[in-house]
Amino acid sequence: MPPRPLFRTACLALLLSLAGCAASPAPRTGANDAPALLLVSIDGLRADALGRGDTPTLDRLAARGARAQWMRPSYPALTFPNHFTLATGLRPDRHGVVHNTMRDPALGRFVVADAAAARVPGWWQAQPLWTGAERAGLVTGVWAWPGASAPIDAIVPRHFHPFDAAVPLDERMDRIAGWLAGPPPTRARFVAVYLEQVDKAGHDFGPDAAPTREAIRRVDAALGRLLAAVDTAGIAMDVVVVSDHGMAAVPEGHYLAVEDMAAMEEAEVVSVGQVVGLAPRPGHEAQVQARLLGRHPHYQCWRKADIPARLHYGSHPRIPPLVCQMDEGWNALPRQTVARRNAEGSHDRGAHGYDPDAPSMRAVFLASGPSFVAGKVLPPFDNTDVYPLLAHLLGIAAQPHDGDARTLLPALREP
Ligand code: AMP
Ligand code: ZN
Ligand code: ZN
């Protein structure tokens, strides 16, 4: 049911006054019968992947709706931190998912592949959209979005499927279409979908390689299948497509052994890759810092308190005392891993986790459907700004967040 004209006018008047004083837009109604909202994340899809002939579905959505020139990922430009930022509007420094690999004195260790750890609510220190929506009485569905396997305040999405790379894309789309077009008591008003194929191919083959472009085409076609199914069922739906970060090419041989950065007897390595976290062992703080702090060939290191302010990172207790940022295209790995990959010839040809302002890290944002204006191109913005838009579309109160609710108002037909 579309919003009543009186409500629309009141909303618009309220919004104009609020926009003038830099506040959040007034939420819409939280009814289950407003247009559905589908949020799709295509992991590792670079902003420049659109409009190259690989993405007819995404290009059609962008033409009929709004898109960003690009969206800036939050630091670090890794999958789990950024997905929880998109779902909460908080920086990783504030929502607690500070890296794909973390250590917490009470909870132990977190790694992406550990499904049991992901189900522990304590890792996720904020209320994601689906929790707020369920609390407001909306039916939600989540396919594999990082964070959704943990009950937050004992609330889980009504429909949920955990990450499982073995489920074929078409089967996923058909199941999700079932959530969106099912009988009204269980019909989802909000669905969030995470898709890993483009990231996987980007790492294995590089961002511009033929198999990566093939993965982009497959994901685009699958999304087309889902949209067609929902359309055929006569369901009005807004669609927001994002990515969490881009993908940089990794040239042959661009690896360092993390043991050459700090001796293992002197420092614990909390995370490796592009954002290396190190905790000096007691008594070794001074020499580890003396060796690491500052600029080196292919990386630079900071004390956590000295990380540049533009990265909004360094205060959360889970961030180790020293953070080293690799230069674009470089990775720091355990010596054993480097040796094994050398022997197998299996080094990654693509990576992310580099400076969020690097062009290669630019992410996708596009939005289309009854709530959005057609043909709008928005200047770049931070991915923290997506959450207040989605909360507004769902008609639920936004939790405290780090985004700017005004950024995306120009994309809305009737803010
Ligand atoms: P990364 O590239 O290290 O940031 O992690 C993203 C990759 O992890 C994806 O390409 C998937 O293959 C994988 N992945 C994503 N979500 C999960 C999950 N919930 N459990 C296990 N693996 C996942
Ligand atoms: Zn990712
Ligand atoms: Zn990745």
pLDDT in tens, 397-409: 999 999 999 999 9
Q: What residues have CB less than 8 Å from 60, skipping those under 6 apart?
A: none
Report the candidate in 17, 16, 43, 12 with the shortest Cα–Cα distance to residue 28: 12
Residue whose CA is closest, atom 8 of ligand 1?
Answer: 112
26-84 pLDDT tens trace = 445 455 569 999 999 999 999 999 999 999 999 999 999 999 999 999 999 999 999 99
What is the C-alpha to C-alpha distance for residues 320 and 337, in angstroms, rounded to an integer?
22
In percent, how much of the chain has pLDDT > 90? Answer: 90
DSSP code of residue 219: H
Predicted confidence (pLDDT) at residue 2 exceeds the cutoff of 70: no
- The label of the residue with tokens 């209320």 reads 127
Cα of 73 vs centre of ligand 3, distance in Å, is: 13
- Mean pLDDT, to the nearest integer, of 126-153? 98
Neighbours of 22 (CB within 10 A): 9
What would the CATH number be for the domain defined by 4-248+357-411?
3.40.720.10
- Top mutation candidate among 79, 84, 348 for ligand 1, by most atoms within 8 Å of CB: 79
Distances (CA, A) of 389 to 40, 360, 367: 14, 25, 10
- Mean pLDDT, to the nearest integer, of 290-304? 98
56, 224 contact by CB (below 8 A): yes
Bond from prior residue into 370 cis (ω within 30 degrees of 0): no
Predicted confidence (pLDDT) at residue 151 exceeds the cutoff of 70: yes
Cα of 315 vs centre of ligand 2, distance in Å, is: 23
CATH class of the domain at 255-347: alpha beta
HSE-CB at 78 with a 13 A cutoff on CA atoms is 20
What is the C-alpha to C-alpha distance for residues 341 and 82, in angstroms, rounded to an integer?
28
What's the gap between Cα 173 and its chain centre?
20
In percent, how much of the chain has pLDDT > 70? Answer: 92
Atom number of ligand 1 nearest to Cα 163? 19
Residue whose CA is closest, atom 4 of ligand 1?
Answer: 79
pLDDT at position 415 is: 75
- Mean pLDDT, to the nearest integer, of 105-121? 98
For residues 168-181, one letter each, b for 16 or more C-beta atoms within 10 angstroms of the residue's C-beta and e for the rest, the string is ebeebbeebbbbbb
Atom number of ligand 1 nearest to Cα 245? 4
CB of 78 within 6 A of ligand 1: the answer is: yes
pLDDT at position 363 is: 99
pLDDT confidence band for 102 (50 / 70 / 90) = very high
Predicted confidence (pLDDT) at residue 20 exceeds the cutoff of 70: no
Predicted confidence (pLDDT) at residue 4 exceeds the cutoff of 90: no
317-336 pLDDT tens trace = 999 999 999 999 999 999 99
pLDDT at position 9 is: 30
The structural domains of the chain, with segments of one domain joined by +, span: 4-248+357-411, 255-347
DSSP code of residue 81: H
43, 244 contact by CB (below 8 A): yes
Predicted confidence (pLDDT) at residue 24 exceeds the cutoff of 90: no
CA angle 142, 396, 188 (to 5 degrees): 35
- The sign of the torsion formed by the CA atoms of 340, 199, 72, 402 equals negative
Taking a 5 Å cut-off on Cβ, the residues next to ion ligand 2 are 43-44, 79, 199, 244
DSSP code of residue 93: H
- Mean pLDDT, to the nearest integer, of 162-175? 98
Predicted confidence (pLDDT) at residue 11 exceeds the cutoff of 70: no
pLDDT confidence band for 13 (50 / 70 / 90) = very low
Q: Encoding tokens for residue 237?
A: 């739906």
pLDDT at position 21 is: 30
pLDDT at position 414 is: 87
